[in-house]
Structure 1
Amino acid sequence: MAPPSPTIYRSFAEQVRRQPDRAAFELPGGRRITYRETARTVERIAARLVADGVTPGDRVAMQVDKSPEAIALYLATLRIGGVFLPLNTAYTDAETEYFIGDARPRVLVCSPRRRAGHAHREGDGLVVETLGAQGDGTLMEGDGHHDEVFDASADDPAAILYTSGTTGRSKGAVLTHGNLASNCRALLEAWRFTDQDRLIHALPIFHVHGLFVAANMTLTAGACMYYLPKFDVDTVVDLLPRATVLMGVPTFYTRLLKSDRLTPEACASMRLFVSGSAPLLASDHQAFEARTGHAILERYGMTETGMNTTNPYEGGPRKPGTVGKPLPGTEIRVVDGETGRTLPDGEVGSVEVRGPNVFSGYWQLPEKTAAEFRADGFFITGDLGRIDEDGYLCIVGRGKDLVISGGYNIYPKEIEELLDAHPAVLESAVIGVPHPDFGETVVAVVVPAPGQEPRESELLEFIAGDLARFKHPRAVRVEEALPRNVMGKVQKAELRKRYRDLFAGSDA
């Protein structure tokens, strides 16, 4: 057995010792924040949290604008043995009520402008602190320093991330120090990420991708990140000649492709473009490679597991429409969802994962946790997929997105890929809606390509030759844009709600 890997915090502390004067953050306007300066901020925040009564195992919730100090808050929480709880900045005070009530944090750190909305929560064991985008707020008051480092084991909880909650209430996935460290180590190896890398960080930090992939990798490798408050095409293109890696969501690449400034010359110093959190259109993958000479690397992960698979950095093609092979130490299988029987390559089934990256369970939901794991330790992801002829995993949708019409299983992605190939269609989303005869039937929602007006009859004729009759959409609806969450995932639950009465009263 290999010795346990260092925690994220101890790996960061090692980089502080090794190269204290290297920039950890470079901010718009040219300001640099070194590893030494970041460590001092961590110590100050740790002292404040301890003074607020945080002890090992206590939750520290954060709902603030992106800043270097917000990352320092994360590291400070890990340093003292707290459990970090990042919350989406888009949540309203009413929505935040649920997470506060469920996780019962000892400290809630919010932006100064939201302080009044949380005032009523203070007391009963909760302290409210503030942190602004410029490093202002009560959290940064005082000059105390907390010198102790909690000796975390691999099994100790490090963070709770709430799932998106597209069906029912969000669940808190408890991620351990071992989960975070092992996944980070696997990604550093798979993507050849080192202290020589310069990452463009334009992602939010309340999500796995921006925090546990981008920030963890940078801070444990001793690399530097160009730390942007949000994604801006011109700002990113300006940085490309000085950077080596961009981690983004599909929307980043769609927007970059609209810029005439995206050229092979602009990308000359870049070695890696990563896309995740939502499927990348194959057309965007191909267009980006044609424009820049770089094939975007797609990977697959989720809140409960961090990253699971990746297209290869080297030694194989980066295939559009696939998410590659398992990361080192991670196992993936595709099974019959009812029996758990492993399916032959090429067949669609339930995607399951096992490895040190897989979370320890849902916060205070032991029965739900037990229901999501097989007896042999594989986690049932809820995704549907298949293994292709090269051993690459292809995700075909969420289990809840499966359409069962007249007893037949229909996988929306198969239909979406055909619709997306039509020149009048920019992208599509296929959903199942109630139908009086078939129980459920297929509806396609399409977004027009620029200057195009897709016609239902034309689209149905275009895909008819490639689909069995039972898979044909019974209706096509055109919308200006598909509803998405902050990470770019299409919200099919919203579309199903929107069109649930489309066939009400119909006898068709």
Structure 2
Amino acid sequence: MSQNLYDMLMAECCAKTEIAVETQAGKQTSYSQLASRVDGILGALTACGARPGDHVAAQIPKSIDSIALYLAALKGGLVYIPMNTAYTDSELTYFIGDASPRVLVCDPENQDRLNRKFATDRLTVMTLPAHDRAAPGPRVTQHPTTHRGPDDAAAILYTSGTTGEPKGAIITHGSLTWCTRQLVEEWKFTADDVITHTLPMFHAHGLFLAVNLPLAVGGKILLHDRFDAESCIASFARATVFMGVPTLYKRLLASPRLDAQACARMRLFTSGSAPLSQVDFDAFQGRTGQTILERYGMTEALIICSNPLEGDRIAGSVGYALPGVEVRIAKDGAVCPSGMVGMLEVRGPNLFREYLNKPDKTREEMTGDGFLKTGDLARQDADGRVWIAGRQKELIISGGYNVYPKEIENVLDTFDGVGQSAVIGVPHPDYVEGVIAIVVPKSAETRIDLDELSAFARERLAGYKVPKWFLCQDRLPTTSVGKVIKAKLIEQHRTIFSDTENPGR
């Protein structure tokens, strides 16, 4: 029996006349029209020589057609590789060299340039075929869904590469089907759900969650080209679900229009891709009466943990492992007792297959008994609830003491006027690593007294945890899904304890 994800997402809905996707401009596409568009795009990919198992890379703007292209690749048994639309040609050169796609789908305005740079006998650069439902044209051939097994590749997503060379994680039809089915049940998705979609579609969050879940139940997607707080809040009057990242919740909270009335129709707000601060968790609850459901996942494991839909959603916790997923906390090769911080490891049907062209890296990230090392430090309560302490690579060892940046950031974020904080370790002549904190004011008019902030931290943290230097910046470097790129901050401030003059304190 085939386990092609396309069957789960579209097989039962492909004849429906209900709207599947609606754009901000008001363009609507029904499920039957979307299925027809999928067949048209699959025909174009096939005409370019793409065959089951071939890789199809895409660097196109977010649109109904970008969803149709993703579905067409699934239906045809092709391996979909979404690319960040901000990538330069030099960045694309790495990804194309690593992934060896058979087809590169691009925006029409970039086709000539990309064709000259990348087209070969083995790589065709194409744009999506024109589509005008009002104009007469040839009848679209309906393509059968290609048989796929659970271990067959459905997509390759490249990790952000914030700490090194990007790795292509091969995600299978089986893991995506399992994850979609599990989350539909966990979060009670139905055909009545309407999701406000503001996330990029070249990441797992915006593609595998915010697209797969509503399509799997015959729901509706309100597709926004990009995030804008005011249009997002306006859409809540028609939506039931919003999936966001902490940065987006900060921007929503900055709008005076965000209140309980604006969110009255909504049933679920989720947050992931980066830690959500308790300050923003509490503020959102106070303003809207809605409790954000924080969950935890990663490209290589899709979703690992989730706070319960019905039950306590606790700030700072990512909830419990999904049914069927095993998590453990390990340190120095041994499983940690409840409450002890260690490396979070995961095993289950949600895992990726391997890293493309990097067998040594795949082996390095897996344990002998099949657990994936997430790279995240965490602790687990006796009842199974998981709390993320931070990235292992971000752990600071200052004067022989372990310092967890997230613990300090949680304190700094509660100081009046602080909109965001980042704590890093940089070389120190005495402590080996010195703790410094970079804070961003809540607004351009906000002024933060760094001496007062230091005193605030000393009252709430053990002395070895208190940052030895505080800095104020207009913004922090982040990825497209809001993760702070601490490697850039470390590089920027690595000489702060050896400089004779500093802009901080």
Q: TM-score over 0.5 for the alignment?
A: yes
Q: Is the contact between residue 46 and residue 146 of structure 1 (CA under 8 Å) also seen in structure 2?
A: no
Q: Is the contact between residue 10 and residue 215 of structure 2 (CA under 8 Å) also seen in structure 1?
A: no
Q: Does the residue aligned with 1:432 lie in a helix, a strand or coil?
A: strand
Give the counterpart of 2:202 among 202, 206, 212: 206
The residue identity in structure 2 corresponding to 1:438 is Y
The residue identity in structure 2 corresponding to 1:59 is H
Q: Give me the whole-angstrom Cα distance separating, in 2, the residues matched to 1:290 and 1:408.
A: 37
Runs of 4 or more, structure 1, over 4 Å off, are 141-144
Q: Give me the whole-angstrom Cα distance separating, in 2, the residues matched to 1:99 and 1:181.
A: 26
- Please say if 1:162 is aligned against 2:155: no
Q: Give me the whole-angstrom Cα distance separating, in 2, the residues matched to 1:57 and 1:22.
A: 32
1:331 is aligned to 326
Q: Give me the whole-angstrom Cα distance separating, in 2, the residues matched to 1:276 and 1:237.
A: 19
Deviation at 1:348, TM superposition (A): 1.2
Give the counterpart of 1:123 among 120, 123, 146: 120
Q: Give me the whole-angstrom Cα distance separating, in 2, the residues matched to 1:437 and 1:223.
A: 59
Deviation at 1:34, TM superposition (A): 0.6
The residue identity in structure 1 corresponding to 2:319 is G
Cα deviations by residue, 1:72-127 (Å, 9 ceiling, x for unpaired): 11111111111100011111111111000000000001111222331221013000
2:393 is aligned to 400
Higher alpha-carbon deviation: 411-420 or 383-392: 383-392
Number of aligned residue pairs = 494
Deviation at 1:232, TM superposition (A): 1.8
Length-normalised TM-score, structure 2: 0.94
Q: Is the contact between residue 24 and residue 224 of structure 1 (CA under 8 Å) also seen in structure 2?
A: yes
Q: Does the residue aligned with 1:324 lie in a helix, a strand or coil?
A: strand
2:56 is aligned to 60
Higher alpha-carbon deviation: 458-467 or 227-236: 458-467
2:246 is aligned to 250
The residue identity in structure 2 corresponding to 1:88 is N
Deviation at 1:436, TM superposition (A): 2.3
Give the counterpart of 2:498 among 489, 494, 504: 504
Aligned Cα root-mean-square deviation (Å)? 1.9
Matches within 5 A, 1:51-450: 51-119=47-115, 120-131=117-128, 144-314=140-310, 316-336=311-331, 338-339=332-333, 341-388=334-381, 391-450=384-443
- Please say if 1:16 is aligned against 2:13: yes
Q: Does the residue aligned with 1:488 lie in a helix, a strand or coil?
A: coil
Q: Give me the whole-angstrom Cα distance separating, in 1, the residues matched to 2:292 and 2:280.
A: 9
Q: Give me the whole-angstrom Cα distance separating, in 1, the residues matched to 2:337 and 2:465.
A: 23
Q: Does the residue aligned with 1:125 lie in a helix, a strand or coil?
A: coil
Deviation at 1:144, TM superposition (A): 5.0
Q: Give me the whole-angstrom Cα distance separating, in 1, the residues matched to 2:417 and 2:88.
A: 38
Q: Give me the whole-angstrom Cα distance separating, in 2, the residues matched to 1:62 and 1:406.
A: 48
Q: Give me the whole-angstrom Cα distance separating, in 2, the residues matched to 1:403 and 1:64.
A: 39
Q: Is the contact between residue 102 and residue 123 of structure 2 (CA under 8 Å) also seen in structure 1?
A: yes
Q: Give me the whole-angstrom Cα distance separating, in 2, the residues matched to 1:496 and 1:56.
A: 44
Q: Is the contact between residue 93 and residue 117 of structure 1 (CA under 8 Å) also seen in structure 2?
A: no
Q: Give me the whole-angstrom Cα distance separating, in 2, the residues matched to 1:262 and 1:449.
A: 17
Q: Give me the whole-angstrom Cα distance separating, in 2, the residues matched to 1:419 and 1:135.
A: 52
Deviation at 1:191, TM superposition (A): 0.4
Deviation at 1:28, TM superposition (A): 2.2
Q: Give me the whole-angstrom Cα distance separating, in 2, the residues matched to 1:142 and 1:348.
A: 62
Q: Is the contact between residue 69 and residue 135 of structure 1 (CA under 8 Å) also seen in structure 2?
A: no
Q: Give me the whole-angstrom Cα distance separating, in 2, the residues matched to 1:260 and 1:457.
A: 31
Q: Give me the whole-angstrom Cα distance separating, in 2, the residues matched to 1:390 and 1:326.
A: 11
Cα deviations by residue, 1:283-334 (Å, 9 ceiling, x for unpaired): 11111111111101111111111111111100x2111111111112111111
The residue identity in structure 2 corresponding to 1:319 is I
Q: Give aligned-pair identity as a percent.
A: 48
Unpaired stretches in structure 1, ≥5 consecutive residues: none
Q: Does the residue aligned with 1:264 lie in a helix, a strand or coil?
A: coil
Length-normalised TM-score, structure 1: 0.93
Q: Give me the whole-angstrom Cα distance separating, in 1, the residues matched to 2:96 and 2:287.
A: 46
1:459 is aligned to 453
Q: Does the residue aligned with 1:241 lie in a helix, a strand or coil?
A: coil
Q: Give me the whole-angstrom Cα distance separating, in 1, the residues matched to 2:262 and 2:69.
A: 35
Relative to 1, partners in 2 of residues 1:144 and 1:32: Cα closer, same or farther, differing over 3 Å? closer
Deviation at 1:393, TM superposition (A): 1.3
Q: Is the contact between residue 308 and residue 327 of structure 1 (CA under 8 Å) also seen in structure 2?
A: yes
- Please say if 1:485 is aligned against 2:482: no
Deviation at 1:251, TM superposition (A): 2.3
Q: Give me the whole-angstrom Cα distance separating, in 2, the residues matched to 1:110 and 1:372.
A: 33
Deviation at 1:15, TM superposition (A): 2.7
Relative to 1, partners in 2 of residues 1:323 and 1:177: Cα closer, same or farther, differing over 3 Å? same
Deviation at 1:390, TM superposition (A): 5.3
2:503 is aligned to none
Unpaired stretches in structure 2, ≥5 consecutive residues: 501-505
2:467 is aligned to 473
Cα deviations by residue, 1:14-42 (Å, 9 ceiling, x for unpaired): 2335x511110122243321111000111
